[in-house]
Amino acid sequence: MTFDLEKYEEAILSQDETRRVEAGLGLAEAVSHLDRETLERLSQPIVDLLLEALRKMDWEFRNLISNALIQLGKFDFIAKSTWFWRKLISTYTDADSGLRSSAMDLLKELGRSEYSLEILEPLIEGLKNSDKDMRILSANTLGRIRAREVIPILLEALQDDNTNVVYNVVECLGDIGDPRAVPALMHLLNTHVDEWVRAATLEALGKIGDQRVVELLLSLVNKELVVDPLINALGTLGDSRAIPVLVNYLKAEDRDIRELALKALVTIWEEVVTIAEFTGVHYELEATKNILQQSLTANVKNILLRDMNDENAPDDVRENCAVLLSCVKYAKALVPIVSLLEKFPLSQKVICALGQYHKRAFSHLRPYLQHKDSRLRQSAGLYVQHLVEKDIRGYDAQIEQALLQLVQDENPILNQIALATLKKFQSTTTIPALLNMLQQFPEDYGETIIDILVTLPKRSVYHAIQERIDEQNERTFPYFIKLLGHTGVQLDYIKNFLKHQNSQIQEASLLAIGYTAHSEGIPLLLPFIMSRQNSLARCAAAQSVYHLIQQLKDQLPKPRNVFDALFVMLNTHRNEEELCAVAQPLGTLCSYKYPDISEVNVAVVRGRLLDLLPRVGIETKIHLLEALYGIIDMSSFSILRELRHINLLEIQKMVASLYSQLDRDLRVIADIADMISHAEYSYRKFWIAAAGRLQAVELTDMLIPLLADPDFRAETFYALVNMGIEGLPRLVQYLNYEDPRIQKMAALVLSKISQDRIDKFCQAPCK
């Protein structure tokens, strides 16, 4: 069917509003159905008409037309030419605000594509345009697409004669967040006469987060005109040197100033806590506590206590007061903070504040474990969980009683909190209560309870099971027999149930063999693996063999027999469930390099798994990639390169993990670097981790700036730690880096590497 563009053109250019809207929406819909040849021939007039259709268009219809323009902008023949971008940018001087807004949104959406250079050229020209509005909007767009490539040009634009242009360029530099802008912004802060430009500069410096500016900002403390953005910037920078100054603002008569200072102090505290938690290095945390202890005088603490108890104060202010008072463990604040839970149940800030008081808060919170409001019970449960994870060492009867009480709660969320905490608590006296719960709710909590009980002494669990096991109870017996397997029960008992008519009991019995770690279980399992009669039993037997391989390692008897059986299952699997079940044990078996499993055998398995990848669903793909982890090599490199383009979180995670198992080949390192720079934002952390596991020290200079990025610093920290002593020569150079944040984080990496090596000499002697 011929595409009639003139029909749309006539309607869109008409004065009839209804016809214009219908034609605009119709053209937007038609774009998705046009063939490439038609689009190449008519793309420019189509874009012109779609932009024209955006004029005076209601917002609910603008998105539909914008989506068509986005679709067009992703075609290479359009994106590689600058005419498309020039048309969008030319709308910046249009009188129609809706059209201008839509064009800016389009450029933001498309701005970080592989054709970003084609986008930047007309924006750079716009930045130098004689029309001030064009310069302003071009700067605004460059900030929205975070175009680091144009930093030098933006720095030149700070000299613009128009204050509004300078203001927008400053905002743009803050949005981009590149530390190269810091010296110029510091100079602007000292020299520019316009109050709003200086306020924007303070905000931009805070966003960039470069701690070189802290001393300059502290010197501006008494300049009232910049106090609001100054306080915000000091908080965002997260430097503890600002604490005494910010505490002084807590005494201000102006409530807004007090609230800003309070928020800034809490931001600094939370930043320090976060760094201490993911690095495991607590020097800065302890130093910050000391500064707060010295700065928060009795008068200031009473001001905070008053504001926290003020029911007319904003919610976030009351919560922030609780956080700050808890940092110094102010005794008078404990009971009011507990009471604050009734106002803000499940408030993460209030619960964390109570955690700072350690077990001192327990007696005050204990009554909430029986409160009629499940949110308050849950809050108390989260506090107890925090207590066990951070503070409790050894047995504590009160905590155990509280957890067992939560296990019996009617709220399933509380049950899960209690069970997760009991796993860390590890007390044998909880066994009876856990088995009671298993008997009452086997389907709901059976597997979770097994996970807890397997961490406890086997003998204690075995004796407790013997008193309760009921072979006739088909709801609970599968869980009990799996538990018996974990206790190392003799195989003769389990053998009685391998052909049980109840499929769940049969499956549990097969799995139990794997949990026993008895090598004699292998001959019992292999016939089930090779049989094609019962898929459920076959999968269970394969999983059981996987557990035995993991536990026996080099002591696995006759690994060639195991290999042959698993390989038969791989080649005769009837469904993806069987494929998933066999891939993991087969991959693990091949990774141990047994003498009677040759490199050729391993290569055949690797090739078979890779061949299957394109033909299976996403979940099965993930299982196959996991199975390849220990046997991947450079022969698979070209396939892995293609897998990088699958736009799914779990796939990206596994592919990055597999890259870390390859040789430190320059092609591998280059691919990892490319993914760190250009992969979708949420995927980059996987590739950062891969760089660390691969010990790709060549990427140190690329990774170091990410230590200052809150979204990636934890992954970057451990990537650099994993590089170990090989990365030290490059890392040491950053101890004198211009940005103090980078200096600090580099020092923390060095500290962690040193601590890990010291720990090797401080291991407890074997008993």
In a domain, 524, yes or no: yes
Q: What percent of the chain has pLDDT over 70?
A: 97
Query: Are 612 and 678 found together in one domain?
Result: no
Query: Are 616 and 680 found together in one domain?
Result: no
The pLDDT score that the predictor gives to residue 113 is: 52
Query: Are 720 and 733 found together in one domain?
Result: yes
> Does residue 377 carry a pLDDT above 90?
yes
Query: Are 620 and 715 found together in one domain?
Result: no
Which tokens belong to 752?
């962690």
- The mean pLDDT value for 755-766 works out to 67
The pLDDT score that the predictor gives to residue 115 is: 44
Query: Are 494 and 616 found together in one domain?
Result: yes
> Does residue 325 carry a pLDDT above 50?
yes
Domain span including residue 469: 426-488
Q: Compute and round to an integer the Cα radius of gyration of the chain.
A: 32
Query: Are 495 and 484 found together in one domain?
Result: no
Tens-place pLDDT, residues 510-528 = 999 999 999 999 999 999 9
Tens-place pLDDT, residues 251-308 = 998 999 999 999 999 999 999 999 999 998 898 999 999 999 999 999 999 999 999 9
What is the number of structural domains in the chain?
Answer: 3
Residues comprising the chain, all counted: 767
> Does residue 601 carry a pLDDT above 50?
yes
The pLDDT score that the predictor gives to residue 685 is: 97
In a domain, 51, yes or no: no
Question: Measured on CA atoms in the order 128, 134, 140, 143, is the torsion positive or negative?
Answer: negative
Domain boundary among 471, 488, 505: 488
- The mean pLDDT value for 226-232 works out to 86
> Does residue 99 carry a pLDDT above 90?
no
pTM for the structure as a whole: 0.80
> Does residue 114 carry a pLDDT above 60?
no
> Does residue 613 carry a pLDDT above 60?
yes
Query: Are 535 and 565 found together in one domain?
Result: yes
> Does residue 39 carry a pLDDT above 80?
yes
Query: Are 474 and 515 found together in one domain?
Result: no
Confidence class for position 83, pLDDT limits 50, 70, 90: confident
Q: ∠ at Cα 372 (366, 377), nearest 5°?
A: 45
**Residue 636 has what DSSP assignment?**
G
Query: Are 502 and 482 found together in one domain?
Result: no
Q: Which residues contact 349 (CB under 8 A, 6 or more apart)?
A: 319, 320, 322, 323
Q: Give residue for tokens 């451990």.
A: 718
Confidence class for position 766, pLDDT limits 50, 70, 90: very low
CA pair distance 143, 139, nearest whole angstrom: 6
Confidence class for position 110, pLDDT limits 50, 70, 90: confident
Question: C-alpha 671: how far from its chain's center?
Answer: 22
> Does residue 237 carry a pLDDT above 70?
yes
CA pair distance 653, 51, nearest whole angstrom: 40
In a domain, 592, yes or no: yes
In a domain, 736, yes or no: yes
Question: C-alpha 173: how far from its chain's center?
Answer: 26
In a domain, 68, yes or no: no
- The mean pLDDT value for 746-760 works out to 87
Average per-residue pLDDT for the chain:
90
In a domain, 48, yes or no: no
CA pair distance 586, 529, nearest whole angstrom: 12
> Does residue 1 carry a pLDDT above 70?
no
